[in-house]
Amino acid sequence: MKLRFSIILLFLIKPLFAQTPDLVHYVNTLQGTNSKHELTRGNTYPTTALPNGMNTWTPQTGRNGDGWKYQYEKKTIRGFQQAHQCSSWSNDYAVFSFMPVTGVLKVNEEDRATGFNHSNETAKPNYYQVKLDNGINAEIAPTERGAHLRFSFPKGAPSYLVLDGYTKMSMVKIFPKERKIIGYVNNGHYVPEGFRNYFVAEFDKPFKSYGTWENRENTITAGSLTKEGDGAGAYIEFNSGENVQVKVVSSYFSFEQAERTLNLELRKFKTLEDTKAAAAKIWNQHLGKVLVEGGTEEEKATFYSCLFRASLFSRQFYEYGQDGKPYYYSPYDAKVHSGFMYTDTGFWDTFRAQFPLNTILQPTMQGRYMQAMLEAKEQCGWLPSWSFPGEGGSMIGNHAISLLTDAWVKGIRTFDPEKALDAYLHEATNKGPWGPANGRHGWKEYYELGYVPYPEYGEGTAKTLEYAYDDFCGYELAKATDKPFYENIFARQMYNYKNVYDPSSGFMRGKNRKGEWKPNFDPIEWGGPYTEGNAWHWQWSVFHDIQGLSNLMGGEKNFIKKLDSVFSEPNKVNVGTYGGMIHEMTEMVMANMGQYAHGNQPIQHMIYLYNYAGEPWKTQYHIRQVMSRLYNSTENGYPGDEDQGQTSSWYVLSALGFYSVCPGTDQYVIGSPVFKKATITLENGKKFIIEATNNNDKNVYIQSATLNGKNYTANYFRHSDITNGGTLKFDMGSDPAKEKGLAIADKPFSLSQADNK
């Protein structure tokens, strides 16, 4: 009887636990933080936030205004800041910070900086903690737009908390009786005039004394209740040895909205432990959308650390109003609108894998983002390309159309396709106002000549390749929605990649207006006609027509040979127009995989291209090599800039066994999964399971496959295979299955082949 009861209990309990396993413990938010200007291993900071959170929190080791917020090698912390941007290169906006001080009051960021050791640090998505060398313990637990912080001061010395208004104009106002500070900051780039981040901070302990100070003049005014100026800040003194909890939120609208959000998100939590537990629950539910089994503990740690980083994006830029509905302050027209808005991403990076991953895991959000992009177009006249949070116009191409088409072909149809096509045509026939050489730089020549001439236009070859891909996306959306006017226009342009291919050298090259190739060609020379790469890297940026590319290159044999050569060439660098080593070059040399430069975007899809040319087993080999050699869960965990979830999404998709080589089509190209089993739970409630029997670090080759029990030979599958739910099963082995996946029908989508189908 007793035994029977236990068995029943086990059956009852198991499903409960099975729903939310503890996956947060696998995540290391320090992954990739050991980065600097010359060499990045991720260029991340220990982001403490909820999935897609509007505000994130991090310890700060760098000076105010320095994009390098937190570097693993640094020895001191000078604040705990509200942050937004993911990358040092894009710096940040709307930042302010708190710093606990013991003993003598020090407000200046250099004076107050305090030593710390990584052995006294906890870095999880739902909880950051560090015990500083002076005995102060600092803790952070996040909500979507706020945070719950706690500072525990050592006994026997005065206890202060300094609030730093960062750079530029800010204001603080202290309410001692209410134990509250409110204020605003307006620091940032690409923010509209009058932009303000209004914050409210509530404390659970009485103020013993207080005052204000200012960053620029470094003056302290004891007893002062308010200050406005360059980096205006406040300080509060608490009883010696106090444990102080702070609940802080911010709003881009007003103090009233910040108060509302404080009520919505934080007042319900009594202690930091409550906030931390609630955040853990949200993260476990989110990470649990992809449950992996098998594989080593380190592989799981790498996988969930990457899934965490990928899940910070798309970043919310909206708040819930009095009526419970979403509103946003537009970084494009500085007005408040109803609806959803997202920011802090560069599509040049993220169209490749980060947005495609969202189409699988967060399609509702993806649909809202697509609407938001068309709203942004109405507000500023152009589709976004790099939001900082307003448009910064960095990098080449007009990849908003890739996101829109990708969403549409995957059944995320929340927007008017005619509006999207019209917006893209506008992009494609105008330089656009952003940056001297971005937007559709060289658009006229691109139409007239069929390519962007170089050196007339810097990076002209890279631009030609990406414009042609974007035109393909325009064409696909027009075709899918029966808009022949747009279809005809873009159909004329999408093969333009052919115009920069030089058959004599076998590379994509710079070509001037007269049709002459750039002289003294050196395939390892960076820059010039290429963006952050060389001819080896840009050869493959024909996402939509790999068959056409292969034909250009003399057929499959030559195509494969060139793919192989990427790895067999020496890892040498000619710095070219960059004039010196940039970190992407150093990272390629360090990776020691020939000319394969995984640390930057242009070549990240290349390994999957063997699937188009009859040697899918080489994809399987190299993918596993890259995943095991270039990624791990530590501070050195990425092979270069992480870039707004892109590199993490590459890993997440690749570890699951597939990749989005050509966003704008509904296909995923098969690689080699890391785990024995992965279960993706979709928003529609269905599950897509990827099983890989006999999988281990030697058995990396797919021997055979079944989809929902039926023999499956193709080197790709479709988005609907995922959303319909089902099981894709691979049988893995240590020897390549060289006869598998060779038929034309097994090859993934190519425009040139689609014509024959």
Contact residues for Ca ion (CB under 5 A)?
600, 641, 643
Our CB check for Ca ion shows the closer of 85 and 600 to be 600
CA angle 745, 746, 747 (to 5 degrees): 95
Q: Which two tokens stand for residue 633?
A: 């869960």
Radius of gyration of the chain (CA): 26
For the bound state, the minimum distance from the C-beta of residue 388 to Ca ion, rounded and expressed in Å, comes to 15
Which segments within 107-179 are labelled E, that is strand? Answer: 114-115, 121-124, 127-131, 137-142, 146-152, 159-164, 169-175
What is the 3-class SS of 325-380, one letter each residue? CEEEECCCCCCEEECCCEECCEHHHHCCCHHHHHHHHCHHHHHHHHHHHHHHHHHH
Our CB check for Ca ion shows the closer of 71 and 600 to be 600
For the bound state, the minimum distance from the C-beta of residue 299 to Ca ion, rounded and expressed in Å, comes to 24
For the bound state, the minimum distance from the C-beta of residue 599 to Ca ion, rounded and expressed in Å, comes to 7
Our CB check for Ca ion shows the closer of 36 and 718 to be 36
Chain CA centroid to CA 385, Å: 14
For the bound state, the minimum distance from the C-beta of residue 573 to Ca ion, rounded and expressed in Å, comes to 16
Q: Are 512 and 519 in contact (CB under 8 A)?
A: no
For the bound state, the minimum distance from the C-beta of residue 642 to Ca ion, rounded and expressed in Å, comes to 9
Our CB check for Ca ion shows the closer of 464 and 601 to be 601
Our CB check for Ca ion shows the closer of 265 and 349 to be 349
Long-range CB pairs of 222-228, under 8 A, 24+ apart, other chains included: 225/173, 225/174, 225/175, 225/176, 226/171, 226/172, 226/173, 226/174, 227/171, 227/172, 228/169, 228/170, 228/171, 228/172
Nearest CA among 673, 671, 638 for reference residue 655: 673
For the bound state, the minimum distance from the C-beta of residue 545 to Ca ion, rounded and expressed in Å, comes to 24
d(CA 145, CA 728): 39
d(CA 351, CA 459): 19
For the bound state, the minimum distance from the C-beta of residue 646 to Ca ion, rounded and expressed in Å, comes to 8
Nearest CA among 177, 232, 209 for reference residue 105: 209
Our CB check for Ca ion shows the closer of 395 and 702 to be 395
Our CB check for Ca ion shows the closer of 264 and 437 to be 437
Q: Are 623 and 607 in contact (CB under 8 A)?
A: yes
For the bound state, the minimum distance from the C-beta of residue 600 to Ca ion, rounded and expressed in Å, comes to 5
Burial (0-12, 13-18, 19+ Cβ within 10 Å), 377 = buried
Our CB check for Ca ion shows the closer of 375 and 641 to be 641
For the bound state, the minimum distance from the C-beta of residue 395 to Ca ion, rounded and expressed in Å, comes to 9
Our CB check for Ca ion shows the closer of 60 and 601 to be 601
Our CB check for Ca ion shows the closer of 233 and 346 to be 346
Our CB check for Ca ion shows the closer of 295 and 602 to be 602
For the bound state, the minimum distance from the C-beta of residue 188 to Ca ion, rounded and expressed in Å, comes to 22
What end-to-end distance do the CA atoms of the chain give, in Å? 65
Our CB check for Ca ion shows the closer of 139 and 587 to be 587
For the bound state, the minimum distance from the C-beta of residue 345 to Ca ion, rounded and expressed in Å, comes to 13
Burial (0-12, 13-18, 19+ Cβ within 10 Å), 305 = buried
For the bound state, the minimum distance from the C-beta of residue 346 to Ca ion, rounded and expressed in Å, comes to 9
Nearest CA among 327, 85, 62 for reference residue 188: 85
Our CB check for Ca ion shows the closer of 600 and 723 to be 600
> What three-state secondary structure class fits 33?
coil
Q: Are 338 and 325 in contact (CB under 8 A)?
A: yes
- Taking every pair of Cα atoms in the chain, the longest distance, rounded to a whole number of angstroms, is 91
d(CA 272, CA 401): 43
Q: Is 339 left (phi over 0), alpha (psi -120 to 50) or beta?
A: left
For the bound state, the minimum distance from the C-beta of residue 712 to Ca ion, rounded and expressed in Å, comes to 34
Q: What is the DSSP letter of 680?
A: E
For the bound state, the minimum distance from the C-beta of residue 435 to Ca ion, rounded and expressed in Å, comes to 17
Q: Are 151 and 244 in contact (CB under 8 A)?
A: yes
Our CB check for Ca ion shows the closer of 123 and 310 to be 310
Q: How many CB atoms lie within 10 A of CB 445?
A: 18
d(CA 53, CA 72): 23
d(CA 342, CA 358): 13
